[in-house]
Structure formats: structure tokens, C-alpha cells
């Protein structure tokens, strides 16, 4: 399992698996990885983008195909899975979302399934795809779990923040949104600066907490898999299988929490009081 670890010491092996395939524009030329150290913001984690977009396309294509081939008779196993996901998310939205919007249920379903697929990549042996990419394509660095990249989780969370602000303004009006930021929790003009600071911090804390919770749990799980891969082969199976079984709960739970909090935040944005 730790094939690439044979030529590296433990510290280098861990660092290698935690390094993204980075592409940047350095001195007018495309560069990769360590040549991008001084590129700052203008760099792309191409592995995270590749796997996240690819899994998103896989989700859309597979669910679309199921919708096209859905039958009223005895459904297939995958159709049953899709129907269970749709019905469960729809029930949760009806119970938790107190506004009126045709967007929330499809959004919640997309968030849950997409994040679940990205998290499931963590169950693939840590050396399997990166080692194949290195030998076949000459790609030295490759992280296959997009949710272990803070850029991806923060991007998802910032998208939720944009929707929160959008629906707050749409439902309450721009004036109502400003009043919510300036006259809560203390309804007095003299405390507007205090309210503005408190409400702004609360608003910003929502995407930060969403992104860090998802990133932290998946990053820690990936790190444990990497540490297990450093052990002798006869120990790896004994440790990796129980951890993988436990990690399945983490994978599903983190996708559910992200979806649930998104529904709650958007429900709060629709509440006019």
C-alpha cells in the first residue's frame, strides 16, 4: 500500500500525500507545484478542481439518467437509492425550511450528494490513484479527496453565504436586511455600531464554520489513512478496515451536517421577523 513511501522517509511521505497538484502562472509561463510557492493567490489546485468537478458531473449525469429511465414498476437498486435520497431530503426541507422556495430542496440534494461523493474518495487507498498517476502520467503530486482542500470547502460555504445574503435582501428588502444588521439584538440607535459588529461576525462565522468543520474532519481522516499506510503491510489491513468502516459514518454525517445547516441558514434568511 505504501509503495511510494519506500523511497521516502515518514515525514516526506506524509508531506507528499498532503501536497496538491498546483498550477500557476509564473513569469508568464505555466509552472507546477514548488515552482508556484511565490505565486500567492494566482494558483490553481488542479487535482481538487478535477475531482470535484468530475464528481459533480457524475452526480448530475447519473441522477438525470435515473430520472429518464424511472419506471412505475419494480425499480432497480440505483433507482431505489436515488428515490430514497430525493424523498429524504424533501422531507427534511419540509420540516426545517419555513419559507417558500422551489430552489432549496434541489440545492440541499445537490449539496448532500456532491459532498458525499467527494468524501467517499477518502476510502480509496491513499497510494492507489496517486501512484498510478505518477507512473502513467508523470504527475508527482495528486490529492484525490477535494474536501481535504480548504479552498473547496470554503468555496462551497461562500456560495451558501451568497445565497443567504441574496434571500435576506429578496425577502426583507435591502432596508430590512440593513435593519437586521444594525438593530439586532439591541433595538436602539445608540447601539447600532455594536449590533453591526455582532451581526457581521455572526454572518461571516456561518461560512467559516461550515468550511472548517467539513475540512477538519476529512483532513484528519485522510491523515490517519496516510499514517496507517506507513505501517507494515500486515498491520495496515487490521487497522485500515476498522477505520474505514468508522469513517463511513463521518463521511455521511459531514455531508448531512453541511446540508442541514445550509437549510437552516436559508430558512433564517426567509424569516421576516
Print the SS3 string covering the chain. CCCHHHHCCHHHHHHHHCCCCEEEEECCEEEEHHHHCCCCCCEEEHHHHHHHHHHHHHHHHHHHHHHHHCCCCCCCHHHHHHHHHHHHHHHHHHHHCCCCCCCHHHHHHHHHHHHHHHHHHHHCCCCHHHHHHHHHHCCCCCCCCHHHCHHHHHHHHHHHHHHHHHHHHHHHHHHHHHHHHHCCCCCCHHHHHHHHHHHHHHHHHHHHHHHHHHHHHHHHHHHHHHHHHCCCHHHHHHHHHHHHHHHHHHHHHHHHHHHHHHHHHHHHHHCCC
Which position among 159, 213, 240, 267 bears the catalytic label? Answer: 213
Residue 153 · residue 200 · CB < 8 Å = no
Is 213 marked active-site? yes
Is 134 marked active-site? no
Ramachandran sector of residue 44 (left: φ over 0; alpha: ψ -120 to 50; beta: rest): beta
C-alpha cell at 264: 437552516
Which position among 48, 217, 240, 267 bears the catalytic label? Answer: 217
CA dist., res. 102 & res. 266, Å (int)? 12
Which position among 209, 211, 240, 267 bears the catalytic label? Answer: 209
What residues are labeled active site? 209, 213, 217
Amino acid at each position: 500500500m505504501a509503495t511510494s513511501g519506500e523511497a521516502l522517509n515518514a515525514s516526506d511521505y506524509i508531506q507528499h500525500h498532503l501536497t496538491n497538484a498546483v498550477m500557476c502562472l509564473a513569469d508568464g509561463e505555466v509552472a507546477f507545484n514548488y515552482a508556484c510557492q511565490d505565486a500567492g493567490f494566482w494558483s490553481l489546485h488542479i487535482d481538487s478542481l478535477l475531482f470535484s468537478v468530475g464528481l459533480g458531473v457524475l452526480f448530475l449525469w447519473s441522477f438525470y439518467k435515473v430520472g429518464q429511465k424511472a419506471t412505475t414498476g419494480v425499480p432497480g437498486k440505483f433507482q431505489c437509492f436515488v428515490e430514497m435520497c430525493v424523498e429524504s431530503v424533501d422531507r427534511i426541507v419540509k420540516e426545517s425550511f419555513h419559507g417558500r422556495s422551489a430552489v432549496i430542496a434541489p440545492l440541499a440534494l445537490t449539496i448532500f450528494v456532491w459532498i458525499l461523493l467527494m468524501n467517499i474518495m477518502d476510502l480509496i487507498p491513499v497510494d492507489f490513484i496517486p501512484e498510478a498517476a505518477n507512473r502513467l502520467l508523470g504527475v508527482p503530486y495528486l490529492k484525490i479527496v477535494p474536501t481535504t482542500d480548504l479552498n473547496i470547502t470554503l468555496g462551497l460555504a461562500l456560495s451558501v453565504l451568497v445565497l443567504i445574503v441574496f434571500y435576506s435582501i429578496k425577502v426583507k428588502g435591502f432596508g430590512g436586511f440593513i435593519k437586521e444588521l444594525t438593530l439586532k439584538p439591541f433595538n436602539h440607535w445608540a447601539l447600532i455600531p455594536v449590533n453591526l459588529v455582532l451581526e457581521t461576525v455572526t454572518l461571516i462565522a456561518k461560512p467559516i464554520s461550515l468550511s472548517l468543520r467539513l475540512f477538519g474532519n476529512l483532513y484528519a481522516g485522510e491523515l490517519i489513512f496516510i499514517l496507517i499506510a506507513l505501517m507494515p503491510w500486515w498491520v495496515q489491513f487490521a487497522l485500515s478496515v476498522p477505520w474505514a468502516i468508522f469513517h463511513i459514518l463521518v463521511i455521511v454525517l459531514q455531508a448531512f451536517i453541511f446540508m442541514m445547516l445550509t437549510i437552516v441558514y436559508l430558512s433564517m434568511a426567509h424569516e421576516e421577523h
